[in-house]
Structure 1
């Protein structure tokens, strides 16, 4: 079993590329391993995946000529830590196969280096994660997008089969999404040759892959044609793309096999009405339990549904649907008030049910009580010291609203938390109503457990997003920072200080607007008598803490919020931290001496106005630090500057329907992933004007353009990224 098979959750998150003169946070001290690899032009960076027999790290390769750098993923296998059978049989077979692969829709191996006892496999990095994570975040795909990606999937598989190679572990987790929104097959740990040296066919006996994607003949345990079983797996993937859920439940293997053999599956009702008959017919041909009757891979590639004519037809129908949605928006709906389609949460729920997601702890009596109020709890998406966060649905008449639910069990919390901090948080969050602050839906109490239902941020938090995109463009930073300042200004005007502003607590909605979340450390800044209160509690994360907070002296919490704003803006623009927080004393010295600078690769591209604003916020002298009203009225946040920034931003061509996979062989020609995001102008209500999204047509912000991410251990609302406190 390879590391990918052992860990189904992919961690393809990009980390900012370091430079010799950068001030970013160092990852680790250099080792002999690092020095040996650097002689070959490679530099290992953060850990992005971990399995039973290996780990995956982000890497950078610097070309000797021209000095250009290429971001890669590096799979590291230590043979001394692996079973003998794996080292002797499966791993050599994988290496033999992957070095021969050269196709636009298969992950490209850059090089393989041996430094006993470790083997380093450098390969193309898929910036936007895997297909399962993507579908779990956005729900089922439009038929047009499913057609584009399925056509690429079939192209990659035909390439393998023509070379007598069967994958034997096709599943959504092994289909990766690149920065250009094309898909790539990966993880050939179970792959094998299907011909003997004498040319005779090889039948497989090994049970490979996941039961949910496995063909009936594999489940039965009989000798099987691995190419035919690959075809069945492509049908499961296509079904998931269209429906956002699995066709069969794999909770009971015996029942799974019975359902497969009797053809007990159907398209979801809401999807079937909108899906063409062509793709329904193709699915039936692929998910055929009788092997001789199952369609061949060649005939799938020639199917009418995968023709260019059908692609154009699907594109036109999808454009009409988007135009209809735009008409609804013009009729007065606020973008953040438009509910996602009713089936979306159910799609996410089904996808979770058949993944590695876990349920929040709950009692049957609680589920019944919540159900009477219209609430249904789903999978866990976050966990902290005193709380867990899960997906939830709120059912009302014919509508279903997707929410996040923070569950606090007071019987398991410290007395001080229950007596002081938690009541303060509840009192504050109930009073908030602003487009750029996470909206509370309701708060329910049952015995010792408190259920806080709130707006769900589909696209995770700002830290995860910056790590994936290597930093934001200045125009995009302008949009989001303006929204962030608006939300904080609303709080400060109501004498509320957040006291824990950091990228992990800035959430990104499905419409690509930002929301401030997690008010666990927030407090009122004036007493009941109207007297201003100074704080003496050490709050938040060291990396974002102001010098006066680090020193441990009483401080003005509103002014410390300003410092944290400056750190967040620096991170947006640079993709790294301004200060290293591994040594607090050195951190404080660097803060007080203003020992920070913009990264060399961005400082010449940034406007003078934004650099001046960051300097004014990261001012250690409280008497010179800009108050919030000055930040809000800064020239960089003016409408004139906004127009100037966007005027200098290049217009991108549509991507997905063009399906131009030829670019993938030339990394230096690929567009930076952040430029693929839905750009827009900030409006008064925090929404964004329509631009061009990945589907290739003008549409409202809300057609999700997301990257894969892993579930969080952070108790923050709607977080779908790494645990809070992880440094960039």
Structure 2
């Protein structure tokens, strides 16, 4: 399969007991704090501060936007280090997707600036770190906290899916936290607007419904969060790959380790094709266990985001009812039978 691996898939995890779930990137790729790029940022009104993250092709900095007197995050991507595939396909797609997104549980996009040597992406700053760091520090979440974070993530994903957009790289370190410890979904490098297979019909609900017949074939994300279809190299339904990743996240929130051992690919393949085992000694409600099992299932039986929004455990913690998303998602799934959710001849990357 032709694909771009994420930095996380390049740097495979340490044993699960340490919860080293994903690498944070290759620090050798860090962009030096040269006067050149600082002068570019200053020209646009940004005072660049400390490094807050590393990526495959660049670095994320905290910055102060002098015109509005707010802190932001600046993702600086080196064109010299980035692959042509990333620069010509994935980066433009990431910016295109982020420009149309506005939701309280998604990191907001503010601006993109391009020079001959770099691309600067200005984003909302989440000052509370990420959920992976939280679990590494404190261990398993209480079910109440897990419910809060999972339901916020689910509302963000429902918003995306209702627009025909898939994330395809959901993992704990892509769930950032604001200063009130609310989830902000980040990193849309693999996100895409799923094309409709029936462009002749103009109604938005029909376009969204028909996009469910789309299959992807690009390997996206990280082994530990990837659904069995992706691991087997099969074309996959990207909406259902997102909900599988949500199942991995929910399991890890309440257990404090990954559900599947990603240190050995053959073992990982075997494990993901069997029913996941939830430790019996942990105080996890049956409703929570049921949702995990509904998410970590074969594609033809796997819960959709609409199923998640209506799940009894989810409803306990849902901060608000997403009326618009429910309406759009119900229209999308109304005439799509469960066995056909992952079957299609419309295959793209």
TM-score by length of 2: 0.77
1:308-323 matches, cutoff 5 A: none
1:598 to 274, 278, 290: 278
Among 393, 402, 405, the residue aligned to 2:71? 402
What is the deviation of 1:599? Answer: 2.2
Please state whether the residue corresponding to 2:91 is helix, strand or coil. Answer: helix
- CA offsets 1:489-533 (integer angstroms, 9 cap, x no match): 011111111111110111111111001101111112224835643
1:503 and 2:159 aligned: no
The structure, 1 or 2, with the larger RCO (C-alpha pairs under 8 Å, 6+ apart) is 2
Q: 1:416 to 1:438 in 2, by over 3 A?
A: same
Residue 141 of structure 2 aligns to a residue in which SS? coil
Deviations 1:55-91 (A, max 9, x none): xxxxxxxxxxxxxxxxxxxxxxxxxxxxxxxxxxxxx
Q: Secondary structure at the match of 1:534?
A: strand
Say yes or no: does 1:584 pair with 2:221: no
Alignment partner of 1:459 is 2:140 = no
Distance 2:37 2:193 in 1: 33
1:562/1:617 contact within 8 Å kept: yes
Per-residue deviation at 1:450? 1.2
User: C-alpha offsets along residues 115-139 of structure 1, whole Å, 9 cap, x if unaligned?
Assistant: xxxxxxxxxxxxxxxxxxxxxxxxx
Q: Counterpart in 2 of 1:627?
A: 304
- In structure 2, what is the Cα distance between the partners aligned to 1:682 and 1:452? 30
Distance 2:126 2:149 in 1: 15
Give the Cα separation in 2 of the matches to 1:47 and 1:516. Answer: 20
Check whether the contact 1:360–1:389 (CA below 8 A) recurs between aligned residues: no
Preserved contact between residue 176 and residue 185 of structure 2 (Cα < 8 Å): yes
In structure 2, how many angstroms separate the alpha carbons of the residues matched to 1:364 and 1:535? 42
C-alpha distance in 2 between matches for 1:414 and 1:558: 27
CA distance in 1, matches of 2:223, 2:31: 30
Superposed displacement of residue 363, structure 1: 4.1
Q: Is 2:304 aligned against 1:608?
A: no
Provide the residue aligned with 2:325 in structure 1: none
Residue 682 (structure 1) aligns with: 319
Check conservation: 1:26, 1:580, Cα contact below 8 A: no
Match of 1:367 in 2: 38
Q: Secondary structure at the match of 1:434?
A: coil
- Report the counterpart of residue 15 of structure 2 in structure 1: 27
SS of equivalent to 1:615: helix
CA distance in 2, matches of 1:459, 1:487: 18
Note the alpha carbon deviations across 1:608-639, whole angstroms, 9 max, x for none: 1111111100112x22111110111111122x
Contact 1:360 1:378 in 2 (8 A): no
Structure 1 CA distance for aligned equivalents of residues 113 and 59 of structure 2: 15
Q: Where does structure 1 lack aligned partners over 5 or more consecutive residues?
A: 1-24, 29-44, 49-358, 643-680, 686-728
Give the 5 Å matches for 1:225-374: 361-374=32-45
The residue aligned with 1:486 is 155
**CA distance in 2: counterparts of 1:463 and 1:600, whole angstroms:** 23
Q: Which residue of 2 aligns with 1:392?
A: 63
Larger Rg: 1
Q: Is the 8 A contact 2:19 2:258 kept in 1?
A: no
Alignment correspondent of 1:689: none
C-alpha distance 684-512 of structure 1, shift in aligned 2 (>3 A): farther
Question: 1:343-370 CA deviation, whole Å, 9 max, x = no partner?
Answer: xxxxxxxxxxxxxxxx952443443342
CA–CA separation in structure 2 for the residues paired with 1:471 and 1:584: 25
Q: 1:47/1:570 Cα in 2 relative to 1: closer, same or farther (>3 Å)?
A: closer
Residues 393, 607 of structure 1: alpha-carbon distance in 2 compared, 3 angstrom cutoff: same
Give the deviation of 1:593 after TM superposition: 1.9
Question: Structure 1 residues 47 and 542 mapped into 2: Cα distance closer, same or farther (>3 Å)?
Answer: closer
Q: 2:314 aligns with which of 637, 641, 656?
A: 637
Mapped contact 1:360–1:379 kept (Cα < 8 A): no
Q: 1:46 to 1:501 in 2, by over 3 A?
A: closer
- Whether 1:443 and 2:112 are equivalent positions in the alignment is yes
- Conserved? CA contact 1:374–1:394, under 8 Å: yes
| 1:123 corresponds to | none
User: SS where residue 63 of structure 2 aligns?
Assistant: strand
Of residues 225, 234, 243 in structure 2, which corresponds to 1:562?
Answer: 243
- Corresponding residue to 2:48 among 377, 393, 405: 377
Partner SS, residue 600 of structure 1 = coil
Shift of 1:567: 0.4
Residues 1:512 and 2:181 are matched in the alignment:
yes
- Alignment correspondent of 1:553: 234
Equivalent position of 2:25 in the other structure: none
**Which of residues 398, 421, 440 is equivalent to 2:90?**
421
Aligned to 1:216: none
* CA spacing shift, 1:464–1:547, aligned 2, 3 Å: same
Q: How many residues align?
A: 289
Q: Distance in 1 between matches of 2:15 and 2:87?
A: 37
Distance 2:321 2:44 in 1: 34
CA contact (8 A) 2:14 2:263 kept: no
User: Is contact 2:152–2:183 with CA below 8 Å preserved after alignment?
Assistant: yes
CA contact (8 A) 1:387 1:408 kept: yes
Structure 2 gap segments, 5+ residues each: 1-12, 21-29, 200-206, 323-349
**CA 1:27–1:554 in structure 2 vs 1: closer, same or farther (change >3 Å)?**
closer
Distance in 1 separating the partners of 2:19 and 2:167:
31
